[in-house]
Amino acid sequence: MTRTTGTEGRPLVPEELSDRVDCLLSKVAEAVRKDTDATFASLDIRGAHHSVLRMLGVCGPLAQKDLAARLRVDSSTIVDLVDQLEGRGLAERRRDLKDRRVYLVELTESGQRLLAAADERVGGLRRDVFAALSAAEYEQLRGLLDKLSTRWTTSA
């Protein structure tokens, strides 16, 4: 006798929780994050690293505090990420001569090359991970999430 496993109910979030959109949101977000990390994996970085590389590439040398504020993460989170990038020679810390408490972080040439390579894969995310959505639906999703996000947007 085979016990019923309950696995046949296929939706990512079970019908019993269909009124809990937060569940659907977190399950989808987690799955997307993993696929995103997989997209960058052959470059030996994760999505979070690409975010840092991109920010440094666009906004030039930044203090870690600025980097954290711009990426909307805690300063302590940045330390590990920059450690990892620096360990691989993709970014460098150097003292700010005007304020020696500050470490300015900037991309190395190697980091700039990796950023360019990583940027090329972003299109793949749209194509593969979000393949189920048409262009219009994709923009709809972005718009809805953006609208929703105003609730937690820094007002200062």
Which residue from 53, 82, 85, 107 is in contact with DNA, where contact means CB under 7 A? 82
The least distance separating its own copies from the CB of residue 128, rounded to whole angstroms, comes to 9
Can you read off the two tokens belonging to residue 121? 């894969």
Residues of this chain, 7-46, that bind DNA according to CB under 7 A: 26-27, 30, 33, 37, 46
E strands, 4-152, are 62-63, 91-96, 99-107
Strand-pairing partners, residue 107, are 91
**Cβ of residue 117: shortest distance to its own copies, in angstroms?**
15
Distances (CA, A) of 27 to 11, 32, 39: 11, 9, 18
d(CA 123, CA 137): 16
Residue 121 touches its own copies, criterion: CB under 8 A: no
Amino acid at 120: E
- Minimum distance, C-beta of residue 113 to its own copies, in the bound complex (Å): 19
Q: Closest CB to its own copies among 84 and 138?
A: 138
Contacts of 28 (CB under 8 A, 6+ apart): 12
Judged by CB under 8 A, does residue 142 bind its own copies?
yes
Query: Between residue 52 and residue 71, which ones bind DNA under the rule CB under 7 A?
Result: 63-66
Please report whether residue 31 would count as binding its own copies according to CB under 8 A: yes
Residue carrying the six token digits 């929780």: 17
* Residues making contact with DNA (CB under 7 A): 3, 26-27, 30, 33, 37, 46-48, 63-66, 72-79, 82-83, 93, 99-104
